[in-house]
């Protein structure tokens, strides 16, 4: 059994989690003007979820024969 590491999913995860954290801290508000706080919260939640799911997809366990 060995673990295969996928770099593309890891990079997507890193980008998404960083964008979610920057939205939480308010740094994204300087670039993107959200119309309501609800839009900003949804943006943050979506990017954090994408980051977590792509991080779980980055690792694949394969069994050797």
Three-state helix/strand/coil letters over 26-58: CCHHHCCCCCCHHHHHHHHHHHHHHHHHHHHHC
The number of folded domains in the chain is 1
pTM reported for the whole predicted model: 0.84
Angle between helices 37-57 and 7-25 (to 10 degrees): 160
- Residue 5, pLDDT score: 87
Structural domain span for residue 43: 2-62
Residue 35 — very low, low, confident or very high, per pLDDT cuts 50/70/90?
A: very high
pLDDT in tens, 9-32: 999 999 999 999 999 999 999 999
């Amino acid at each position: 059994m060995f673990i295969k590491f996928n770099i593309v999913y890891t990079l997507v995860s890193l980008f998404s989690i960083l964008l979610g954290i920057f939205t939480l801290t308010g740094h994204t508000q300087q670039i993107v003007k959200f119309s309501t706080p609800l839009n900003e919260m949804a943006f943050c939640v979506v990017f954090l979820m994408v980051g977590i799911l792509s991080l779980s997809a980055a690792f694949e366990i394969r069994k050797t024969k």
